[in-house]
Amino acid sequence: MFSFQHLSVQKKISLLAAVLLGLFCFSLTALIPALQSPDERDHLKRAYFLSQGQIFLASKPHKLSGGPLDSGLLDYLNFSEKYPFHPESKVTEKDVVTARTFLWSHQSVYAEAPGTGYYFPALYAPQAIGLTTGRWLGLSIDRSYMLSRLSAITAISLLLFMAFRLTTPNPLVLALLILPMSLFQEAASSLDGVSTAATVLATSCFLRITQQREKTPRHLLVLFAVSVTLVTSCRQHALPLLGLIFLSAAYTRSKASLIAGMLASLFTLLWTVVSLKTTVFRLPLPATSASERAVYYILHPWSFFKILFHTLEQRTVQADYLTTFLGRLGWLDTPLPAHAYIILTSALILLAVLSCSFTTLRENWVWRVGLLCAALVSCLLIFFALLITWSGDQAMTISGVQGRYFLIPVLFFAYALTASGNGELPSRRYTVSLTLLGVLFLFSTHEMIGVLLQRYYIAP
């Protein structure tokens, strides 16, 4: 039975952090205009499709993959297009009033959303619940959209609370969740925040299993397998989580872990293959499909690594990955001040050092190496997935990669630094880390709010 009183100080603080993170992201919804996260319009379409019971995207001749969308919602989505990539466009009182006039028409039109076709839509459930609730209550589309954001933020906070209840996060993990880019995505009606929180939950389950070993309760194995399946079926670069299920079998010595790993792997594989085959991502159709390119690069790995190295050696690409990881807000059209990236990077490095410990390396090197390998493979999968789906035939560089995609592998790396399975640090080091985290949070939010006000509300 859950008892807050008997928890350690570090665990109490981490649980409080999960709640406060949700509250802060909720407050951000009053500042960030609707649908200003990258591809958020398509994510909201996918959530609406799910609310209508549509699991797979549909296809029409000479159309990209999509589905039937309420025409009122489509008008609302089109209205939001005035802000991205137009820094001169500011939110006015008239815009706010107009946004609230869009109502559900209960008439469907076909809308394309091909970029979401590869994601198993279960993690869109919070947004779908928000949209459905708004329709049932007869709310405007703008209020229904806000409900979808609130539902997603609530889900993120609950998932993180469950994760931190299992394993206390080290300072670097918390730092990654309060970066400007992370906070911005967590406050949106997008997939990023929920999938990141589910990844943290899955990793926490794994670390808890390494502690409890043969005494691991069955419900924890089920939670681990379900969370892994939900993440890997919508975030292909999180596939190394499947390997962690099989690694957990070495600790539990249980056939249940092996069965869970096989079922999760089978489901993820089937979904990935089917989605690759059925999603029309671009027109005209390329000479080779995504699945055909995947087979080619698997059989010719050096071709993949040659393109990868050529991509990574470009200085502009390196800078782009760093800024879009730390915080380039809006539709990646709203950068932070230059000094912010230097300070944020320095803070992450310092917190990584404070989170790291080698005192128990002999006892826990297996799961730490497993997480490090998961981080490396996850990074490679990011480039592989974008190469086969976005970069086209005979690509020389890998296009479409954004720094925010690396949050999952960096979280794996952060957890690998954990001194022990429970994630807690010596009290003196934790005090220093907590102080630095507080400063980082204040700095992140200060820079973020200032940039957003300038971008969306203050005329030049």
DSSP 63-79: S-SEEEEEHHHHHHHHH
Q: Is 85 helix (H, G, I), strand (E, B) or coil?
A: coil
pLDDT band at 422 (very low <50, low <70, confident <90, very high): low
Residue 328: which H helix or E strand, with range?
Answer: strand 328-329
**pLDDT attached to residue 2:** 55
d(CA 52, CA 59): 16
Q: Quote the pTM value.
A: 0.95
- Which of 422 and 412 is assigned the larger pLDDT? 412
How many other C-beta atoms can be found within 10 angstroms of the C-beta atom of residue 76? 24
Specify whether the CB–CB gap between 185 and 404 falls below 8 A: yes
Confidence label for 326 from pLDDT (cuts 50, 70 and 90): very high
Provide the pLDDT for residue 421. Answer: 55
pLDDT above 70: percentage of residues in the chain: 95
Please, are residues 171 and 440 in contact by the beta-carbon 8 Å criterion? no
- pLDDT band at residue 285, thresholds of 50, 70 and 90? low
Question: Which residues are bridge partners to 111 per DSSP?
Answer: 67
Q: Give the pLDDT band (50/70/90) at residue 267.
A: very high
* Pairwise CA distance, residues 31 & 453, whole Å: 8
Q: Residue 318 is which amino acid? A: Q
8 A C-beta contact, residue 375 and residue 405: no
* pLDDT top residue among 424 and 24: 24
Give the model's pLDDT for residue 425: 80
Summarised one tens digit per residue, pLDDT across range 51-108 is 999 999 998 888 999 999 999 999 999 999 999 999 999 999 999 999 999 999 999 9
* Model pLDDT, residue 460: 72
Q: Could you identify the residue written with the tokens 């959530």? A: 47
Cα separation values, 265 from 229, 238, 243, 442, Å: 8, 12, 9, 41
Helix (H) or strand (E) holding 298: helix 290-299
The mean per-residue pLDDT over the stretch 250-267 comes to 93
d(CA 333, CA 331): 5
Compute the average pLDDT of residues 27-32.
96
Read off the pLDDT band of 264 (50, 70, 90). very high
CA distance 374 to 104: 44
Q: Is the pLDDT of residue 240 over 80?
A: yes
Q: What is the pLDDT of residue 161?
A: 97
Alpha-carbon torsion angle 225, 118, 191, 321, nearest 10: 110
Token code pair at residue 192? 């990023």
Q: Smallest Cα–Cα separation from 410: which of 365, 345, 362? A: 345
User: What pLDDT is stored for residue 358 in this prediction?
Assistant: 67
Give 420's pLDDT tier (boundaries 50, 70, 90): low
pLDDT confidence band for 292 (50 / 70 / 90): confident
Q: What does the domain layout of the chain look like in residue ranges? A: 9-28+37-280+290-456
**Mean of pLDDT values over 362-391:** 90
Question: Nearest-CA neighbor of 354 among 215, 172, 216?
Answer: 172
Query: In the predicted model, is pLDDT for residue 195 greater than 70?
Result: yes
- Cis check: omega of the bond before 284, within 30 degrees of 0: yes
pLDDT of 356 > 90? The answer is no
Phi-psi region of 252 (alpha: psi -120 to 50; beta: other; left: phi over 0): alpha
Q: Would you state the structure tokens that stand for residue 408, as one six-digit string? A: 């999952």
Instruction: Tell me the one-letter amino acid at 330.
Output: G
The token pair that represents 158 in the structure block? 């609950």
The mean pLDDT value of the chain amounts to 92
**Phi first, then psi: what are they for 7, rounded to 5°?**
-80, 155
Q: If 0-12 CB within 10 Å is exposed, 13-18 middle and 19+ buried, where does residue 140 land?
A: middle
Which of 173-187, 244-258, 284-298 bottoms out in mean pLDDT, i.e. has the lowest? Answer: 284-298
